[in-house]
Amino acid sequence: AQSVAQPEDQVNVAEGNPLTVKCTYSVSGNPYLFWYVQYPNRGLQFLLKYITGDNLVKGSYGFEAEFNKSQTSFHLKKPSALVSDSALYFCAVRAGVRGSYIPTFGRGTSLIVHP
C-alpha cells in the first residue's frame, strides 16, 4: 500500500526567510508526486508535480520541490516566504499498477508565515 507522511503539523517561518515543508512517501513502482495548497474553506490548488526528469521541479508562486529517490522524499521549498503563503499544504502521490492510480494524500501541514 502506498503512503505519504508529512511529519510536521505546523511550520512557522518569518516573512522573507526560506521555508521547507517536508514530505516522504512509500510506493511500489514509480511515484508521481504532487503538492497542493488549500486556503480556508476552499478546495485544493495544484502547485507542482514530479513525473520524471529533473529532480528539482518548479511550480506556482515561487515554490519548488526536490525529488530524492534514495530518501523517498519530496520536500516543498521557497527561498523567501510571504505572509500570503500561509495556508494548508498537502503532499500527494499517485502510483500503482493496472490503472489503480488512486491518489494518496498526506495529512497536511499548516504553514504560518509571520510578518
Partner 1 sequence: GAVVSQHPSWVICKSGTSVKIECRSLDFQATTMFWYRQFPKQSLMLMATSNEGSKATYEQGVEKDKFLINHASLTLSTLTVTSAHPEDSSFYICSASGRYNSPLHFGNGTRLTVT
**Positions 67 through 106 that interact with partner 1 (CB under 8 A):** 90, 92, 94, 96, 99, 101-103, 105-106
For residue 103, with 0-12 CB atoms within 10 Å meaning exposed, 13-18 middle and 19 or more buried, which class applies? Answer: middle
Q: In the complex, what is the shortest distance from the CB of residue 33 to partner 1, in angstroms, rounded to a whole number? A: 10
State residue 16 phi and psi, 5-degree precision: 95, -20
User: Distance between CA 89 and CA 105 in Å, rounded?
Assistant: 10
Which member of 15, 20, 22, 32 binds partner 1 (CB under 8 A)?
Answer: 32
Q: Interface with partner 1 includes 45 (CB under 8 A)?
A: yes
Q: Which residues pair with 26 in a beta bridge?
A: 3
Q: Which one of 18, 28, 42, 61 is in contact with partner 1 (CB under 8 A)? A: 42
Q: Is 62 left (phi over 0), alpha (psi -120 to 50) or beta?
A: left
**Residue whose CB is less far from partner 1, 17 or 60:** 60
Give the binding site for partner 1 (CB under 8 A): 32, 34, 36, 41-46, 49, 51, 90, 92, 94, 96, 99, 101-103, 105-108, 110
